[in-house]
């Protein structure tokens, strides 16, 4: 196995190693880790870890398949790397350690799925850095990221394994188009215990004064690189990590947000008081306080995007084209003779009921030759009829319920199911459900 070329530019070689240190390691790390469930999600599926020899962020994928279990399982395996590496290890040795740890995490997730089929489809991204006192060995799968801030300039160390990134690499879309692409969350690689694992593995040489940042896409998906650089250039690692999470949420992040920050400092400097390994997110099994309604509260409170729950209700606006009757005109309108008034009302009512009955009967007969795919009790279901009601008459009923969970589908398909996906016949509906199941399996293995 050979080391890949360091993908980050080296603006300056940095100061010479401290050859006089007791163990010959020139640098050590000052670190901090923060994770927040965010303002939209009810569960935190991110996991993070920061220690003297290891930094990692894992972002769980799977929805109902419990991405939090995948990310926490991965971090529990990867944290075993947080031991002082033996002196004299060459690059291939260090890459071998990281590769082995990632494969162990990958296999452990596979074992969990084998024992509990309800976890089928769970997976996690993973970005991990093993520090040996002078350089960082990076292993990367998915779209979590590692950054390096050196001399005020920020460099993205990792390369996203996403569908949109491939489009960017091929020059088919621009950076601006990538931010709003409908498939921007489609991941091509992840730890899932099923497919062959091919992580990116490479070495990054470090210099005193470098600052490292690992994050889930809840950060980098909502805060641009210049803003990240501004924040990383200030304060302690803990301050920078907290500020990055806060800014991500204030920027509208709808995801869980996890950030690990570490400074590369000379090994002969005095460590900060209370510096200990930190595990955050799903892996830490944080016991959050609950509100009176039993819902989890986030570390960073604030209004959710689009939430208008604080506004007083208002009357419905008058539709365009509506005309208010003139009371004086109504007062002087011609009136029907009193003796015929009741009879005319009765005849009119019977006529109206007859028309309604014929229309309803015709609509019902027509509807029974219609098919659509919708949702019932969280499952993708084939309905006979049309997704609506007419004059209180339900024009559809469940015909066939599948085992496919709506939460397992991509957001695009979930939105389509809300309106109903129409089909010309039952066979076509069944084929569409199978297509959704196939797409869900593909997305669960390769996308978030």
Residue pLDDT, tens place only, 115-168: 998 888 899 999 999 999 999 999 999 999 999 999 999 999 999 999 999 999
The arithmetic mean of pLDDT across residues 394-398, rounded, is 75
Cα 14 from Cα 3, distance rounded (Å): 22
Q: Does pLDDT of 315 surpass 50?
A: no
What token pair was written down for 51? Answer: 């220690």
Q: H helices within 79-118, ranges in order?
A: 91-115
| pLDDT for position 12 | 39
Cβ within 8 Å of residue 305, ≥6 positions away: 39, 40, 252, 254
| 360 closest CA partner among 398, 387, 395, 388 | 395
Q: Does pLDDT of 364 surpass 60?
A: yes
Do 156 and 147 meet the contact criterion of CB atoms below 8 Å apart?
A: yes
| pLDDT for position 447 | 55
Instruction: Report DSSP state, residue 187.
Output: B
Do 65 and 103 meet the contact criterion of CB atoms below 8 Å apart?
A: no
Going by pLDDT thresholds of 50, 70 and 90, the confidence category of residue 7 is very low
| pLDDT for position 395 | 67
Going by pLDDT thresholds of 50, 70 and 90, the confidence category of residue 65 is low
User: Could you tell me what percent of the chain has a pLDDT over 70?
Assistant: 75
Burial class (CB in 10 A: 0-12, 13-18, 19+), 102: buried
For residues 410 and 166, the model is more confident at: 166
Q: What are the pLDDT digits (tens) for 329-356?
A: 333 333 344 444 556 667 777 778 877 7
Q: What are the pLDDT digits (tens) for 264-298?
A: 999 999 888 888 999 999 998 644 433 344 444 44
| pLDDT for position 366 | 64
The arithmetic mean of pLDDT across residues 392-399, rounded, is 70
The arithmetic mean of pLDDT across residues 105-109, rounded, is 96
Do 375 and 406 meet the contact criterion of CB atoms below 8 Å apart?
A: yes
| 198 closest CA partner among 135, 129, 126 | 126
| Highest averaged pLDDT of the listed ranges 55-59, 298-302, 399-403 | 55-59
Do 167 and 173 meet the contact criterion of CB atoms below 8 Å apart?
A: yes
Cα 275 from Cα 31, distance rounded (Å): 8
Cα 59 from Cα 140, distance rounded (Å): 12
| pLDDT for position 419 | 76
| pLDDT for position 357 | 74
| pLDDT for position 11 | 40
The arithmetic mean of pLDDT across residues 68-92, rounded, is 94
In DSSP terms, 55 is beta-bridged to 50, 129
Going by pLDDT thresholds of 50, 70 and 90, the confidence category of residue 390 is very low
Burial class (CB in 10 A: 0-12, 13-18, 19+), 146: buried
| pLDDT for position 287 | 40
| Highest averaged pLDDT of the listed ranges 49-63, 201-215, 363-377 | 201-215
| pLDDT for position 426 | 84
| pLDDT for position 290 | 31
Q: Does pLDDT of 57 surpass 80?
A: yes
Q: Does pLDDT of 300 surpass 60?
A: no
In DSSP terms, 382 is beta-bridged to 373, 400
| pLDDT for position 17 | 38
| pLDDT for position 146 | 98
| Structural Rg of the chain based on CA atoms | 30
The arithmetic mean of pLDDT across residues 67-94, rounded, is 94
The arithmetic mean of pLDDT across residues 67-88, rounded, is 94
Cα-to-chain-centroid distance, residue 407? 13
The span from the first CA to the last CA of the chain, in angstroms, equals 30
| pLDDT for position 32 | 97
Q: Does pLDDT of 358 surpass 90?
A: no
Q: Could you count the other beta carbons within 10 Å of the beta carbon of residue 200? A: 16
Q: Could you count the other beta carbons within 10 Å of the beta carbon of residue 319? A: 6
Cα 48 from Cα 64, distance rounded (Å): 21
| pLDDT for position 334 | 36
Q: Does pLDDT of 33 surpass 80?
A: yes
Do 235 and 32 meet the contact criterion of CB atoms below 8 Å apart?
A: no
| pLDDT for position 393 | 56
CA distances from 235 to 43, 150, 232, 267, 436 (A): 30, 15, 8, 20, 48
Cα 227 from Cα 140, distance rounded (Å): 23
CA distances from 140 to 44, 62, 198, 382, 387 (A): 21, 19, 9, 41, 45
Least confident of 31-40, 110-119, 279-288: 279-288
Q: Does pLDDT of 201 surpass 50?
A: yes
| pLDDT for position 48 | 97
| pLDDT for position 322 | 29
| pLDDT for position 179 | 83
């Amino acid at each position: 196995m050979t080391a890949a070329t360091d993908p980050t530019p080296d603006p300056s070689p940095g100061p010479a190693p401290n050859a006089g240190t007791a163990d010959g390691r020139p640098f050590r790390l000052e670190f901090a880790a923060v994770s927040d469930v965010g303002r939209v999600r009810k569960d935190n599926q991110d996991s993070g870890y920061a220690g003297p020899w290891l930094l990692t962020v894992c972002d769980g994928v799977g929805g109902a398949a419990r991405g939090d279990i995948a990310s926490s399982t991965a971090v529990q395996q990867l944290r075993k790397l947080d031991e002082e590496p033996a002196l004299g290890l060459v690059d291939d040795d260090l890459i071998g350690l990281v590769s082995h740890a990632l494969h162990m995490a990958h296999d452990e997730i596979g074992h969990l799925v084998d024992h509990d089929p309800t976890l089928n489809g769970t997976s996690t991204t993973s970005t991990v850095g093993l520090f040996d006192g002078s350089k960082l060995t990076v292993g990367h799968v998915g779209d979590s990221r590692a950054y390096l801030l050196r001399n005020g300039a920020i460099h993205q160390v990792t390369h996203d394994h996403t569908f949109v990134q491939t489009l960017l690499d091929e020059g088919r879309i621009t950076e601006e188009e990538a931010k709003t692409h409908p498939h921007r969350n489609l991941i091509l690689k992840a730890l899932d215990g099923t497919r062959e694992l091919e992580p990116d593995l490479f070495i990054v040489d470090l210099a005193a004064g470098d600052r490292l940042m690992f994050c889930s896409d809840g950060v980098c998906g909502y805060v641009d690189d210049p803003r990240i650089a501004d924040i990383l250039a200030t304060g302690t690692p803990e301050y920078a990590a907290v500020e990055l999470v806060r800014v991500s949420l204030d920027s509208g992040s709808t995801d869980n947000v996890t950030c690990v920050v570490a400074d590369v400092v000379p090994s002969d400097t005095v460590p900060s008081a209370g510096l200990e390994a930190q595990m955050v997110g799903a892996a830490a099994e944080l016991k959050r306080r609950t509100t009176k309604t039993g819902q989890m509260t986030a570390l960073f409170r604030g209004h959710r995007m689009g939430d208008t729950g604080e506004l007083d209700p208002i009357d419905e606006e008058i539709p365009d084209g509506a005309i208010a009757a003139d009371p004086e005109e109504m007062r002087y309108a011609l009136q029907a003779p009193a003796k015929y008034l009741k009879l005319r009302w009765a005849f009119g009512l019977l006529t109206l009921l007859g028309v309604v009955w014929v229309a309803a009967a015709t609509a019902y007969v027509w509807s029974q030759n219609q098919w659509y795919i919708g949702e019932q009790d969280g499952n993708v279901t084939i309905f006979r009829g049309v997704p609506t009601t007419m004059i209180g008459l339900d024009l559809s009923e469940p015909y066939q319920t599948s085992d496919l969970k709506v939460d397992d589908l991509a957001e695009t398909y979930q939105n389509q199911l809300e309106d109903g996906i129409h089909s010309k016949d039952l066979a076509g509906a069944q084929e569409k459900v199978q297509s959704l199941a196939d797409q869900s399996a593909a997305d669960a293995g390769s996308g978030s």
